[in-house]
C-alpha cells in the first residue's frame, strides 16, 4: 500500500472538481427549465419547468452552503464554528424524502476543522446509502476531548473498498482521482486537528468514528 503525497495545487484542483461535480447537476436542471420556459408555450410544461427550477435552485443552494463549510475557508484562521450551523447545512443536503437525519449534539462552538471533519464524515456515510436510509450523527465532548460518529443504515448499503485506505492517506495504486479525493481530504482534516478516523462496516450499518489520536509510544 502506497502513501499518497499530493502537491497543494493538485489537491486544490481535485477538491474543486469534486465540488463542481456536486453542484453541476442542479445547475444544469435550472438551465433546462429556463430553456423550456423560453421555447414551450404549453401551460402545463411551463408549470413543470418552474417547479423544476425552484427545486433545483434550492438543491444548488443547499449543496453550495454545505460545501462552503465542509471544504471552504469559513471564518478566519483558527476560527470556531457553531455546530448548529453544521446541522443546518447537513439537514439542507441530506434530510429529504429518502433520508432521515438524526443529529444528536449540543449546540456549541467547535474549531472549524472539527466541524469540517464531521461534515465530511457525513458525505462519506451518505455515499454508502445511495437509495436513502437513516443517518445518525453524534458529537460528544468539547475542545480536545470532542468525539464524533456518523452511522448509516439503508437499502443497498455499501462502503467503497478504498475509503478506509484513503482516510489513512494510502492508496494501492499510489494515486487518487476526483472520485476518491473526498475521503482522502477527510483524512487530512482529521490529522490536522489531532484526530483519527475508524471505519466499521457490517451488513446492517456503516459507522465512521473520529476521536483524539492516541499519542505515539514513548511520546
Q: Which of 97, 94, 184 is nearest to 137 (CA)?
A: 94
Q: Give the CATH number, domain containing residue 95.
A: 3.30.565.10
Domain membership flag for residue 170: yes
Domain membership flag for residue 114: yes
Domain membership flag for residue 218: no
Residue 137 pairs in a beta bridge with 103, 150
> In the prediction, which pLDDT does 35 show?
93
Domain membership flag for residue 41: yes
Q: Can you give the residue range of the structural domain that contains 44?
A: 2-212
Residue 21 pairs in a beta bridge with none
Domain membership flag for residue 162: yes
Q: Which residues contact 146 (CB under 8 A, 6 or more apart)?
A: 110, 114, 139, 140, 212
The string over 146-177, giving b where at least 16 C-beta atoms fall within 10 Å of a residue's C-beta and e elsewhere, is bebbbbbbbeebebeebbbbbbbbbbeeeebe
Domain membership flag for residue 75: yes
* Cut 0.85: pTM above it: yes
pLDDT digits (tens, 9 = 90+) for 108-145: 999 999 999 999 999 999 999 999 999 999 999 887 88
Across 187-211, average pLDDT: 96
Domain membership flag for residue 219: no
78 pLDDT band (50/70/90 cuts)? low
> In the prediction, which pLDDT does 12 show?
94
pLDDT digits (tens, 9 = 90+) for 171-198: 888 889 888 999 999 999 999 999 999 9
How many domains are there within the chain? 1
Evaluate if residue 170 carries a pLDDT over 80. Answer: yes
Domain membership flag for residue 217: no
pLDDT digits (tens, 9 = 90+) for 12-58: 999 999 999 989 999 999 999 999 999 888 889 999 999 999 999 99
Evaluate if residue 218 carries a pLDDT over 70. Answer: no
Amino acid at each position: 500500500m502506497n502513501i499518497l503525497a499530493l502537491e497543494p495545487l493538485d489537491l486544490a484542483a481535485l477538491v474543486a472538481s469534486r465540488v463542481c461535480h456536486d453542484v453541476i447537476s442542479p445547475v444544469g436542471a435550472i438551465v433546462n427549465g429556463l430553456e423550456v420556459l423560453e421555447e414551450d408555450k404549453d401551460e402545463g410544461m411551463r408549470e413543470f419547468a418552474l417547479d423544476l427550477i425552484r427545486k433545483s435552485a434550492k438543491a444548488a443552494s443547499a449543496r453550495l452552503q454545505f460545501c462552503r463549510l465542509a471544504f471552504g475557508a469559513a471564518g478566519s484562521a483558527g476560527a470556531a464554528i457553531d455546530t448548529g450551523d453544521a446541522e443546518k447545512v447537513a439537514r439542507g443536503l441530506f434530510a429529504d424524502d429518502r433520508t432521515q437525519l438524526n443529529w444528536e449534539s449540543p449546540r456549541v462552538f467547535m474549531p472549524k476543522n472539527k466541524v469540517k471533519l464531521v461534515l465530511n464524515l457525513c458525505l462519506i456515510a451518505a455515499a454508502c446509502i445511495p437509495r436513502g436510509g437513516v443517518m445518525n450523527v453524534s458529537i460528544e465532548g468539547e475542545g480536545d476531548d470532542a468525539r464524533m460518529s456518523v452511522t448509516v443504515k439503508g437499502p443497498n448499503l455499501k462502503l467503497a473498498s478504498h475509503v478506509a485506505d484513503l482516510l489513512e492517506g494510502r492508496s494501492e495504486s499510489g494515486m487518487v482521482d476526483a472520485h476518491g479525493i473526498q475521503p482522502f481530504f477527510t483524512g487530512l482534516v482529521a490529522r490536522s486537528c489531532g484526530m483519527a478516523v475508524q471505519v466499521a462496516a457490517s451488513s446492517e450499518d456503516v459507522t465512521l468514528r473520529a476521536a483524539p489520536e492516541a499519542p505515539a509510544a514513548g511520546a
